[in-house]
Amino acid sequence: MTEADWINLIVLCLAGALSPGISWLMILSMTATRGLGVGVAGALGHGLGITCFALATVFGLSALLMAAPAASGVLTWLGLALLVYFGWTLVRRGTTPLPERLSTQGGFVAGFFIAIVNPKVLIFFLAIFGPFVDPNHRLLDQVVMGALAGFIDAVVYTGVALFAGSAKALLTETSLPTINRTLGILLIGSAVWLAFSAI
């Protein structure tokens, strides 16, 4: 890859990570309700999930999904179903569906799976990251592409967790359920919008 290609890839990865979406909402909620340590762990887990997605794209996910479009549909609808579940739980209970006592390891795992089931991530890697994929690239370049996407994502979402942690003083027992219900409505709305986009 040329230097210009690397710069373009970095800019696109930053744009993708910085655009508020489903993962932002979940990391914010996780930090606000389960603590900064869990939120940062979730951000790092999310970064690992993005790395796995990027490497899978580089090493053949794009080709696989093009050959079997049904696989893309299954992944998309599974992610949408989970978004609706998380959103409905937030709306109904006013609390996150995560366990009451969530360790940093649990937050890491939760962050990883948020990245894996987020339909926005699938769309991003197929539509934006995919064109950078070239089987003629050196193996080292391919691995660095995947690691770079995950690193940028982890840094951005750690920033999101730190922001949520610093704002936690504003999240009282009275306001937090309302905020969670609002997040739940946004999650369900995002799922509905993505569903109509997929049809």
Task: Look up tokens 């790395």; give the residue.
Answer: 51
| Identity of the highest mean pLDDT range in 49-63, 90-104, 152-166, 183-197 | 152-166
Which pLDDT score is estimated for 67? 65
Tokens describing residue 40: 């940062």
Greater confidence, 36 or 179?
Answer: 36
Instruction: Give dist(CA 43, CA 155) in Å, integer.
Output: 8
Q: How much is the average pLDDT of 133-139? A: 73
Burial class, 92, CB count within 10 angstroms (exposed 0-12 / middle 13-18 / buried 19+):
exposed
Give whichever of 27-31, 148-152, 166-170 has the largest mean pLDDT. Answer: 148-152
**Residues 2, 20: Cα–Cα separation, whole Å:** 30
Please write the tens of the pLDDT for every residue from 36-84.
888 899 899 999 999 988 888 777 755 665 566 666 566 667 667 766 7
Tokens found for residue 119: 């339909």
Tokens representing residue 23 in the block? 């993962």
The larger pLDDT score, comparing residue 44 to residue 163, is at 44
Most trustworthy range by pLDDT among 13-27, 89-103, 150-164: 150-164
The structure's pTM equals 0.68
In order of 14, 32, 139, 140, 141, the CA distances from 23 in angstroms are: 14, 14, 30, 29, 27
- Burial of 149 per CB tally in 10 Å (0-12, 13-18, 19+): buried
Residue 31 · residue 42 · CB < 8 Å: yes
